[in-house]
């Protein structure tokens, strides 16, 4: 059975919580991105060797208001943060400093997970409508992609290579 249809899929879990801290190296217009990344990677290596220094380093180096509290973000549930940060937080069940930088639209983050609280997987009848909506969205996306491909197949373009279908029979 595809993962989408399994009510055991992590996307349908409810109540998962992570208690986390972070150090943000914020990217602003004109920021020297490569220099910021290097600085963040060096600090990550130092913190992996000496994790007890995390709160102090967050207080002195983070560009986030949470720096005042040692980088403490409190409890975070699914959907509470930007997708790329959430993906890193919920990727596994480890505790401690994540072994690589987390890159988001805000910058580079060094993340420490202090605690995890597992949620529960609801029964199928509770997530049935969400699964149906996801499947419907997937079918609509596929149909639109096929329709655009057919339109492109009928277009007359010169000097351009195109990936188009000549027949409506495609998958």
DSSP codes, the chain? --GGG-TTSGGG-B--EEEEEEEEEE--TT--HHHHHHHHHHHHHHHHH-GGGHHHHHHHH--SGGGGGTTEEEEEETTSS-HHHHHHHTSS---EE-SS-EEETTEEEEEEEEEEE--BPPPHHHHHHHHHHHHHHHHHHHHHHHHHHHHHHH---SS------SSS---
84-to-13, 38, 90, 140 alpha-carbon distances in Å:
18, 20, 10, 25
| 111 & 148 share domain | no
Q: Is residue 149 part of a domain?
A: yes
Q: Is residue 4 part of a domain?
A: no
| 59 & 107 share domain | yes
| 113 & 140 share domain | no
Q: Is residue 51 part of a domain?
A: yes
| 57 & 87 share domain | yes
Q: Is residue 5 part of a domain?
A: no
| 38 & 94 share domain | yes
Domain containing 21 equals: 13-117
pTM, to two decimals: 0.66
**CA-CA-CA-CA dihedral for 75, 77, 79, 80, to nearest 10:** -10
| 60 & 126 share domain | no
Q: What does the alpha-carbon distance between residue 157 and residue 167 come to, in Å, rounded to a whole number?
A: 18
Q: Are 104 and 84 in contact (CB under 8 A)?
A: yes
Q: Residue 1's pLDDT is what?
A: 42
| 94 & 127 share domain | no
Q: List, run by run, the mean pLDDT of 10-residue segments along the chain (171 residues).
A: 49 81 94 94 97 96 95 93 94 93 96 91 83 90 89 76 60 53
Q: What does the alpha-carbon distance between residue 24 and residue 71 come to, in Å, rounded to a whole number?
A: 8
Residue 102 belongs to domain with CATH number? 3.10.50.40
Q: Residue 9's pLDDT is what?
A: 60
Long-range contact pairs involving 161-167 (C-beta distance under 8 Å, separation at least 24): none
Number of domains in the chain: 2
**CA-CA-CA-CA dihedral for 74, 80, 81, 85, to nearest 10:** 80
Q: Residue 92's pLDDT is what?
A: 87
Q: Residue 121's pLDDT is what?
A: 79
| 145 & 75 share domain | no
Query: Which residue, of 87, 102, 117, is where some domain finishes?
Result: 117
């Amino acid at each position: 059975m595809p993962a989408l249809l399994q009510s055991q899929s992590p996307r349908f879990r409810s109540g998962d919580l992570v208690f986390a801290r972070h150090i943000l190296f914020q990217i602003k217009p004109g920021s020297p991105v490569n220099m910021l990344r290097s600085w963040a990677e060096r600090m990550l290596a130092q913190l992996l060797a000496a994790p007890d220094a995390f709160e102090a380093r967050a207080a002195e180096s983070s560009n986030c208001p949470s720096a005042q509290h040692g980088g403490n973000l409190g409890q975070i549930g699914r959907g509470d943060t930007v997708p790329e940060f959430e993906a890193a937080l919920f990727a596994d069940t480890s505790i401690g400093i994540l072994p690589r930088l987390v890159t988001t639209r805000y910058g580079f983050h060094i993340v420490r997970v202090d605690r995890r609280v597992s949620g529960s997987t609801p029964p199928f009848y509770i997530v049935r409508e969400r699964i149906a909506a996801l499947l419907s969205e997937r079918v609509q996306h596929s149909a639109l992609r096929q329709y655009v491909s057919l339109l492109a197949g009928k277009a007359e373009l010169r000097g351009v290579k195109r990936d188009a279908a000549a027949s409506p029979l495609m998958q």
